[in-house]
Structure 1
C-alpha cells in the first residue's frame, strides 16, 4: 500500500470511498437515520484540502482505500453547513491545524492506514509552524485518535443541515517534533 498526496484525478474515488466508509462503519455507532444523514453531509470532500496539498490517499492495488489530511484553514469539519470564515488561513502561532475528513474502507480498517495519515499530517503541520492539532471526531474515529494521543476537549451534538443530530467529540493534541506521542504506558 502507498500513501501519497491526493490529486484532482482522485476526487471521484475519494467521494465513493467516503460514502462506502460511512455505510460500512457508522451503523456500529449510529442509527440508520444518522448513518444516512452522515453519508449525505459528512462524507463530503472539501476540495480546498486537495488544492492546498494537505490531503492524502492510501492506495492498495491502484484503489483508494483510505483518505484524510489536515488543513491550515479555519473550517473544523464538514457537515454542519458553511461559515463565513471557513477559508480563512489559520495563524500557526496561536491556532491549531485541523485534522479533517478521515475515512477508511470497511475492509481496510485496523491496518495502520489512519495512523499513517495522521503521522504525515502532523509532520506537515509541524513543518509549517503549527504546535497543536484539533479535530471533530465522529464516534467511529475516537479510538484511532485516542491511540494517537488526542485528548477529548468536549462532547458535542453536531446538527446536520437536515436536522439529524450526531454525537461528536472535539479532540486536541500537541504537535511533537518528528515523532508521535504514545499514550501513557505504551512504548
Structure 2
C-alpha cells in the first residue's frame, strides 16, 4: 500500500490519536519512567480537533505570539502542494 499525503479531516482524529499513543508507548520508555510514559500516553496524545479545523494553524500560532510574514507553498513528495503561511516570532532574551 502506498501512503497518500493529504490534509487531515476531523474523521481522522481517532486514528491520529491512536498512532500518537502507540508512538509514545514505544519511544518514551527509553527516556522516561513508567509513570511518566503512561501519563504522556493519556494526556499528550489527545487530539485537539481545533488543529485540524483551523486549516494551517494560523489562529493558534497568532495566539502564541507569531505574526504572518507571507503565504507559502509547501511541496509534498507526491507533488501535491499545500498552502501554508510563513510566520515568525521574536526571541525574548532574558538577562
Q: TM-score, normalised by structure 2?
A: 0.63
1:20 maps to 22
Larger radius of gyration: 2
**Where do 5+ consecutive residues of structure 2 fail to align?**
68-76
1:96 maps to 66
Q: Distance in 2 between matches of 1:91 and 1:43?
A: 21
Flag as ranges the 4+ runs of structure 1 deviating above 6 A. none
1:124 maps to 84
Q: Alignment partner for residue 32 of structure 1, among 14, 34, 47?
A: 34
Structure having the higher helix fraction is: 2
Q: Distance in 2 between matches of 1:35 and 1:125?
A: 34
Q: Distance in 1 between matches of 2:32 and 2:45?
A: 15
CA RMSD of aligned residues (A): 3.3
**Where do 5+ consecutive residues of structure 1 fail to align?**
55-69, 75-89, 98-115, 134-152, 154-187
1:113 maps to none
Structure having the higher strand fraction is: 1
Q: TM-score, normalised by structure 1?
A: 0.35
Note if contact 1:49-1:71 (Cα within 8 Å) is conserved in structure 2.
Answer: no
Q: Alignment partner for residue 60 of structure 2, among 69, 73, 81?
A: 73
Kindly tell me the number of residue pairs found equivalent between the two proteins.
77
